A = this chain, B = another copy of it.
Amino acid sequence: MSRVNFENATCPVPRRDYPQVVLGHGGGGKLSAELVEHLFVPAFRNAALEALGDAAIVPPVAGRLALTTDAYVVRPLFFPGGCIGDLAVNGTVNDLAVSGAEPLYLSASFILEEGFSLADLQRIVDRMAHAAATAGVQIVTGDTKVVERGHGDGCFITTAGVGWVPPGRSLGPEHIRPGDAVILSGSMGNHGIAILSVREGLEFETVTHSDTAALNGLIARMFEVCPDIRVLRDPTRGGLAATLNEFASRAGWGIEIHENQIPVDESVRAACDLLGLDPLLIANEGKVVAIAPAAAAERLVEAMRQHPLGQQAAIIGQVTQQHPTMVVARTAIGASRVILLPIGEQLPRIC
């Protein structure tokens, strides 16, 4: 099955017209060169990439650098709201953005399984190009390896990112203070439930879409309003529970959240109820958690709500001197429960 329009696309497959990846596409010879020339370069087009050196050379960056990397192994490769390509760009952009950096450049490495559809690879690469353009970053260098059938899983992508850190900006759990506000940009659990629904063939009244998105625009706006944000994190694997537990344990303070203030979409809540899952443990790919001084919290939330990715932003709790290193949720009925760091994860291969 292919959704590529071969009529209008420019060189959608390498010149030799293989419909599928063969081992030679990773061999460093003619087939590799054709894949680069006819698939990757037309999609990612920029001067640094087109020089096709062993490394891309980019202009000087005046300031500290932020470096990050993530491997993407999500299954299925395509899901409501996105695909592995969107995730591979947005996830790495977000890791830079939550570190306080402005994302600039990405690298992209592919590990393909022999027999993988080149039309699917084209779709993935096109989504990466689109995501990079939306986030305002360039994919400047890459690599492709091919493994024999049965020794991989279609397509794995690893991206690395380089960003620029503005002078004086310093984020980290060590800056957290009792009384600080815990702020969330939007609803929890959408990405994980989107993946799970496709994978398990679950049918709900409403399809849940992944929230995959690049957060650097929203985060830039947040710094304009509140330059002294203590720490930011995108709650991916392990969900909000993992993020808040990491903050609490590394800061040495407690965190108290109010469950009824955490936005959860109706379709996500229905799926979680049915499957016995906790939305706070489920991965998100387009949300940010911020800890900020209480005095700036209302102003910050107001600004976030003006941004398309922060419309449901809310203050969901505060840092406390009580129960140090622990995260405690107050439930709607006034009870409280300890939110633990998950040991493994509820849903493997969600990113």
Interface residues, chain A, with chain B CB atoms under 8 Å away = 22-33, 48, 51, 53-73, 94-96, 98-99, 101, 105, 107-111, 140-148, 150-153, 156, 158, 160-163, 165, 171-172, 233-234, 236-238, 242, 246, 283, 341-345, 348-349
Contact A51 B172 (CB under 8 A): yes
The 5 closest A-B CB pairs, nearest first, are: A24-B344, A28-B237, A27-B345, A160-B160, A55-B68
Q: Which of B33, B98, B158 contacts A69 (CB 8 A)?
A: B158
Q: Which residues of B contact A349 (CB under 8 A)?
A: 145, 147-148
Contact B69 A108 (CB under 8 A): yes
CA distance A343 to B236 in the complex (A): 41
CA distance A342 to B32 in the complex (A): 10
Contact A348 B67 (CB under 8 A): no
Evaluate whether A348 and B29 lie within 8 angstroms (CB atoms) in the complex, with A110-B71, A152-B152 already known: no
Contact B67 A146 (CB under 8 A): no
Q: Which residues of B contact A59 (CB under 8 A)?
A: 64-65
Contact B343 A24 (CB under 8 A): yes
Q: Which residues of B contact A348 (CB under 8 A)?
A: 23, 26-27, 146, 148
Query: Nearest-CB distance from A30 to chain B (Å)?
Result: 5
Contact B57 A60 (CB under 8 A): no
Q: Which residues of B contact A342 (CB under 8 A)?
A: 27-30
Contact A60 B63 (CB under 8 A): yes
Q: Which residues of B contact A55 (CB under 8 A)?
A: 66-68, 95-96, 98-99, 101, 161, 163
Q: Which residues of B contact A236 (CB under 8 A)?
A: 28
The 24 sampled A-B contact pairs (Cβ below 8 Å) are: A26-B237, A27-B345, A28-B238, A29-B238, A29-B342, A29-B343, A32-B238, A53-B171, A54-B95, A54-B233, A55-B66, A55-B68, A55-B95, A57-B65, A60-B61, A67-B140, A69-B141, A69-B142, A72-B145, A107-B160, A111-B156, A148-B349, A152-B152, A156-B156
Contact B68 A141 (CB under 8 A): yes
Q: Which of B23, B53, B64, B158 contacts A57 (CB 8 A)?
A: B64
Evaluate whether A58 and B54 lie within 8 angstroms (CB atoms) in the complex, with A145-B73, A238-B27, A345-B29 already known: no
Interface centre among A55, A60, A233 (most CB of B within 10 A): A55
